[in-house]
């Protein structure tokens, strides 16, 4: 199904029936990232699976794909799906978008699950690396960038145990055009710090860390849990030691069980 948000036509699909649960995928994947995990969730929930702007079948629109734009897209998605209030889970950029969702429309949020999505903004070194990739992608396309993403985002255990996952992830990543890849890097470089936002989350929250994650480390995710706790609400924290940044993709059954248990506890 498609809907329009600002200057882009965006795609989403729905699995199951019940209370609304929105799953937001990482960069540069698409809704297929969540399908195996969604199997454990759609037995009880109406699982809404969008392709974020610039990913999969969703257009990028014009200009940087900022977290503010993603937040607006998700608000319109809820309107399109006739959902007044939902639970959410997001991985990587999907989790970064959840900080914006909370800032933008807290009254429409029932619960939040953050998978490998650090609250801190990019460091100067990370921003500089994004600028390098923007220049390389503009000159040579996305091929080299995708191979780098596969190495960085998928944990060593999954690459060793399930090498077919690399090919499947590569197929998802190849749907991202050079223009969209550049817009995503620009938007991520401008991502605001969300540490104060985390302190204001007085709703049920779940924080998932992955021991092999190079981008949002276990320490980063523990910081998120501590920030939420300092605001007066106790989050649930779990680490999967043998998973990387794409933890829900690498270990969908385990993550599905964890999320199902958490969301079941909310209702």
State pLDDT tens for residues 190-225. 999 999 999 999 999 999 999 999 999 999 999 999
For the entire predicted model, the pTM comes to: 0.98
What confidence tier does 144 reach under pLDDT thresholds 50, 70, 90?
A: very high
Indicate which CATH number applies to the domain containing 79: 3.40.50.1820
Express each pLDDT in 21-38 by its tens digit: 999 999 999 999 999 999
What residues make up the domain containing 200?
Answer: 2-266
Beta strands per DSSP E along the chain: 2-5, 8-15, 20-24, 46-50, 86-91, 109-115, 205-210, 236-240
Number of domains present in the structure of the chain = 1
* Chain centre to alpha carbon of residue 215: 13
Taking the C-alpha atoms of 59, 103, 36 and 2 in order, what is their torsion angle to the nearest 10 degrees?
A: -30
Residue 53 corresponds to which tokens in the numbers above? 């702007």
User: Which pLDDT belongs to residue 225?
Assistant: 98
Neighbour tally for 108: CB within 10 Å: 18
């Amino acid at each position: 199904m498609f809907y329009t948000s600002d200057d882009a036509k965006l795609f989403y699909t729905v699995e199951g029936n019940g209370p609304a649960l929105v799953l937001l995928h990482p960069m540069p994947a698409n809704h297929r990232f969540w399908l195996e995990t969604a199997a454990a969730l759609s037995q009880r929930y109406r699982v809404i699976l969008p392709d974020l702007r610039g990913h999969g079948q969703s257009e990028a629109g014009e200009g940087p794909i900022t977290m503010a734009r993603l937040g607006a897209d998700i608000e319109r998605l809820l309107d399109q799906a006739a959902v007044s209030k939902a639970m959410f889970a997001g991985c990587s950029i999907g989790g970064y978008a959840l900080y914006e969702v909370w800032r933008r429309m807290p009254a429409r949020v029932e619960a939040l699950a953050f998978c490998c999505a650090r609250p801190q903004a990019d460091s100067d070194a990370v921003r500089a690396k994004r600028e390098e990739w923007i220049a390389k992608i503009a000159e040579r396309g996305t091929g080299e960038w995708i191979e780098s993403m596969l190495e960085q985002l998928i944990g060593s255990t999954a690459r060793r145990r399930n090498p077919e996952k690399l090919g499947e992830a590569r197929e998802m990543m190849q749907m991202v055009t050079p223009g969209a890849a550049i817009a995503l890097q620009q938007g991520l470089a401008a991502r605001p710090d969300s540490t104060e936002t985390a302190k204001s989350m007085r709703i049920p929250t779940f924080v998932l860390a992955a021991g092999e994650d190079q981008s949002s480390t276990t320490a980063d995710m523990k910081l998120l849990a501590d920030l939420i706790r300092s605001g007066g609400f106790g989050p649930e924290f779990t680490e999967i030691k043998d998973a990387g940044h794409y933890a829900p993709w690498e270990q969908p059954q385990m993550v599905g069980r964890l999320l199902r248990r958490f969301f079941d506890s909310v209702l």
